[in-house]
Amino acid sequence: MKKNMKGFGCLALVVAAATWTLANGQTVAGENTAEREIRGWINSWTKAFSAKDVDSVMELYTDDVVAYDVVPPLQYIGKAAYRADYQQFFSQYEDDLHVEVRDLRVGVNGELAYATGLEMISGILKHGQKESNTWVRFTSLYRKLNGKWLDFHDHVSVPADIESGKALLDLKP
């Protein structure tokens, strides 16, 4: 009888833990559904970016997106301005543009989420056939609208040497 009670106690504990996990949207690895959706957003962006598909990239943003990019101006306000930034960037590369994401961190609180990490942008530049391999830092903020996560703020940067004022483009993680 004691053996059956121990077995029942263990089973009850496992069922309670599984119920609590499902009720809280948690996966076994500790990542909830919304976090998986943000990671899926990043995968969709990476594929569209690598394909230089500006229409698919822009479908992932809100109309009122505000972006701070590594290239001037200081900020891009609205989808049209950010689209122009993407188009100009894509036009500099041959068809071999790639992006690698590292050290990705994702957090979600209700209808808001963030992602931070490092991205290595690589490819062959059109003019001069020079290969580009640059690591950048990024932070993206997301808002869930009509059941879909959309990016409403991007911040992309590179470290700079304060004394010289020059960007440090050769750093690696």
Tens of pLDDT, residue by residue over 132-151, are 889 999 999 999 999 999 99
Q: How far is CA 124 from CA 10, 127, 136, in A?
A: 58, 9, 17
Structural contact between residues 34 and 102, judged by C-beta atoms closer than 8 angstroms: no
- Mean pLDDT by groups of 10 residues along the chain of 173 residues: 44 34 40 92 97 98 97 96 97 91 96 97 84 93 97 96 92 90
What structural domains and CATH numbers belong to the chain? 32-157 (3.10.450.50)
| Tens of pLDDT, residues 31-60 | 699 999 999 999 999 999 999 999 999 999
Q: How many CB atoms lie within 10 A of CB 106?
A: 21
The reported pLDDT for the residue numbered 74 is 95
